[in-house]
Amino acid sequence: MTTAVPLTETELGAWRSFLRTHAQITRKLEAELLAEQDLPLASYDVLLQLAEAPYRRLRMTDLADRVLLSRSGLTRLVDRLEREGLVSRAACPNDARGTHAVLTEAGAARLRSAAPTHLRGVSEHVTSRLSETELEQLRHLMDKLMTEHPPLPEGGCGVAEGVR
């Protein structure tokens, strides 16, 4: 049995603020994408992750690690995106058991179409409310907490949201 580690009021306050803020911003971005683009935020995230990946493809297991979905939830979402022609599946050449999710041209076009809505929301709900220094501090702090993936390169999602 593990024992609970007592947290200070500052630690608990920071954690709770992070959770509330993340939930609030995510709900707003989701609502805007649905209203203007008829595209759920999770679908946008999958398309974006694939657009940023080399050759616009990721193993399903790697994609699951990058998005906020369970593996079964991701499978269902990729099934739906595949039916819509936005993603295809391809066998992994070096692993017969593995499958790649691949961004199609239609998926890249859908991402390009939805990007202005998403980026406007990010600006409205996050970046326009912080100074350049605060944004640099926020990125530094988030990168410091990141354990599973290296920080995004300069340009980050903005590069992919233009979809090369």
> Residue 156, Cβ neighbours under 10 Å: how many?
12
CA angle (129 as vertex; 127, 133 as ends), nearest 5: 70
pLDDT for res 164 = 47
* Run of H or E including 99: strand 95-103
pLDDT for res 161 = 60
- Tens digit of pLDDT at every position of the chain (164 positions): 778 889 999 999 999 999 999 999 999 999 999 999 999 999 999 999 999 999 999 999 899 988 978 888 999 999 999 999 999 999 887 777 789 999 999 999 999 999 999 999 999 999 999 999 999 999 999 999 987 665 554 444 444 565 44
pLDDT for res 84 = 97
pLDDT for res 158 = 46
Residue 68: which of 107, 23, 38, 105 has the closest Cα?
A: 23
Maximum C-alpha span of the chain: 51
pLDDT for res 4 = 84
* Overall fold of domain 26-147: Arc Repressor Mutant, subunit A (1.10.10)
